[in-house]
Amino acid sequence: SDTAYKYIAVSEPRPGVGQVTLNRPKSLNALSTPLITELNAALRTLDASPSIGAIVLTGSPKAFAAGADIKEMAPLTFSEAYTTSFIESWSDLTTAVKKPLLAAVSGYALGGGCELALMCDLIYTTTDAQFGQPEIKLGTIPGAGGSQRLTRAVGKARAMELILTGNFFSGEEAARWGVAARCYATHEELMEETLKTAEKIAGYSKVAVMAAKEVVNKSQDLALRDGVEFERRVFHSLFGSNDQKVGMKAFAEKQKPEWTHS
């Protein structure tokens, strides 16, 4: 565990798997600017580390994150928010990190916490986790992509209801509605299965994994025709990788591929 950080802990719990644990327990992992700054630094380090193939982001059994730090935001003025690009650095997560980012969500994932999970590539959760966009109750609205990513995930009808009411939804619902890929009965089971999946992904060619993540995420930005064309270009480009030769040769020879990550 890396002691250079105050609000997060970084570890390598499995071969090839980096884990970032949000660690501000007294405020249920409220996402203050200093916490986000540390998170971005840790993710950049893991992304640049040749030994890491996948990254897991998690919180505590009680809270993934209960939102942006309300006490920090309360006195902010429009001109301060605007001129300091408040919240903009959160998007580093989606633009700077090229390795797959898996969110393991237990407990509260509210407001910015829900949005942080939605920025990850894959969400696993617990049945009784509590997701929600309760900003409306504070006199404001989602500000880190919630109205867009949640709507793409659950459809307009459910997203509109959730964002206008501030109602929470459970991990079980998150899995049923396609926000999360799976839900598990306990935090322990969640962590075990998330790490197992991350380790599996980290065992593949980094070139292919990063390309796969990139093309799936493009589906959220592009029209179908453009997305399919983008996928085909990237697919063609992978014939220029060594690992495509390694993988297909190993299949033909009934051997285990020895990835070169090139």
Catalytic residue numbers?
A: 68, 112, 115, 135
Nearer to ligand HXC, 59 or 111 (CB): 111
Site residues for ligand HXC, window 97-126 (CB under 6 A)?
Answer: 108, 110-112, 115
Among 8, 17, 20, 66, interactor with ligand HXC by CB under 6 A: 66
- What is the total count of residues that contact ligand HXC (CB under 6 A)? 21
CB 113 within 8 A of CB 31: yes
Rounded to an integer, what distance in angstroms lies between the CA atom of residue 186 and that of residue 254? 38
Q: Tell the smallest beta-carbon distance from residue 69 to ligand HXC (Å).
A: 5
**Residues 123-142, interacting with ligand HXC (CB under 6 A):** 134-135, 138, 142
Nearest distance from C-beta of residue 246 to ligand HXC, angstroms: 42
Cβ proximity to ligand HXC, 69 vs 231, nearer residue: 69
User: In the bound complex, what is the minimum distance in angstroms from residue 219's beta carbon to ligand HXC?
Assistant: 24
The correct pick among 42, 57, 87, 207 for binding ligand HXC (CB under 6 A) is: 87
Residues in the chain, total = 262
- For 183, 211, 231, the CA distances from 236, given in Å and listed in that order, are 35, 11, 9
Helix H segments across 33-122?
33-48, 70-73, 78-83, 92-96, 112-119
Tell me the residue nearest to ligand HXC as measured from the CB. Answer: 111
State yes or no: residue 7 binds ligand HXC (CB under 6 A).
Answer: no
Q: How far is the CB of 185 from ligand HXC (least distance, A)?
A: 21
**CA 249/CA 30 separation, integer angstroms:** 49
The residues, any chain, with a CB within 8 Å of residue 44's CB and separated by 6 or more, are 92, 96, 97
Strand (E) or helix (H) holding 262? none
Tell me how far, at minimum, the Cβ of 143 lies from ligand HXC, in Å: 3
Cβ neighbors of 153 (< 8 A, separation 6 or more) are: 118, 159, 177, 178, 179
236 contacts: CB under 8 Å, gap ≥ 6: none
Q: Give the 3-state secondary structure of residue 136.
A: helix
User: Which residue in the set 9, 41, 70, 216 belongs to the binding site for ligand HXC (CB under 6 A)?
Assistant: 70
Q: In angstroms, give the least distance from the CB of 55 to ligand HXC.
A: 20
Q: Which positions from 17 to 56 touch ligand HXC by CB under 6 A, shown as an x/- string?
A: ----------xx-x--------------------------
DSSP label at residue 140: -
Taking residues 137 to 166 in sequence order and writing x for each that binds ligand HXC by CB under 6 A, - otherwise, the string is -x---xxx----------------------
Query: What CA–CA distance (Å, rounded) separates 21 from 42?
Result: 10
Positions that interact with ligand HXC (CB under 6 A): 27-28, 30, 66-71, 87, 108, 110-112, 115, 134-135, 138, 142-144
